[in-house]
Amino acid sequence: MHSLIRSYGKPLTSLFVCLTAFWLLVMIALPQAFMIEHSLWHIDRDDQLGMKIDRAYSEMGLVEYDLKAAKTEKVRAEFQTRIDALKAQIAALEAQETEPPKIYGIHNYTKMSELHFTIFLKSIVFALMVTVLALVVCYPMAFTIAKLATPYKAALMMLGLIIPYAINELLRVYAWLMILDYQGVINSALAWLGLVSFEAKTWVPFLENPGSVFVALIYAYVLFMIFPIYNTVETLDKNQLEAAKDLGASTWKTHMRIVIPHAKPGIAVGCIMTFMLSVGSYSVPQIMTRGKSGDWFSQLIYRQFFESQNWNTGAAYSFSLVIVCLAFILIMMKSFKVGIRDIAK
Residue 251 beta carbon to other proteins: minimum distance, rounded to whole angstroms: 10
The enclosing H or E element of 129 equals: helix 114-143
Site for other proteins contains 183 (CB under 8 A) = no
* Contacts to other proteins from residues 105-134, by CB under 8 A: none
Residue 330 beta carbon to other proteins: minimum distance, rounded to whole angstroms: 22
Return the number of the residue (98 or 239) whose C-beta is nearest other proteins: 239
Judge whether 221 and 277 are in contact, CB under 8 Å. yes
Single out the residue of 207, 172, 171 nearest to residue 187, CA to CA: 207
Out of 246, 307, 334, 344, the residue judged to bind other proteins by CB under 8 A:
246
Residue 245 beta carbon to other proteins: minimum distance, rounded to whole angstroms: 5
Site for other proteins contains 7 (CB under 8 A) = no
User: In this chain, which stretch among 25-33, 106-114, 187-195, 249-257 interacts with other proteins, using CB under 8 A?
Assistant: 249-257
Burial profile 259-282: b = 16 or more Cβ within 10 angstroms, e = fewer: bbebbbbbbbbbbbbbbbbbbbbe
Site for other proteins contains 257 (CB under 8 A) = yes
Judge whether 233 and 263 are in contact, CB under 8 Å. yes
Site for other proteins contains 45 (CB under 8 A) = no
Distance separating alpha carbons of residues 159 and 143, to the nearest angstrom: 16
3-class SS of residue 41 = strand
With a CB cutoff of 8 Å and minimum separation 6, the contacts of 218 are: 130, 133, 134, 137
* Contacts to other proteins from residues 215-244, by CB under 8 A: 237, 239-240, 242-244
Return the number of the residue (277 or 338) whose C-beta is nearest other proteins: 338
Binding mask 261-290 for other proteins (x = CB under 8 A): xx----------------------------
Q: CA dihedral defined by 112, 281, 333, 255, rounded to 10 degrees?
A: 130
Task: Count CB-CB contacts under 10 A for residue 320.
Answer: 18
Distance separating alpha carbons of residues 57 and 49, to the nearest angstrom: 12
User: In this chain, which stretch among 57-65, 81-89, 250-258, 322-330 interacts with other proteins, using CB under 8 A?
Assistant: 250-258
Footprint of other proteins (CB under 8 A): 237, 239-240, 242-250, 253, 257-258, 261-262
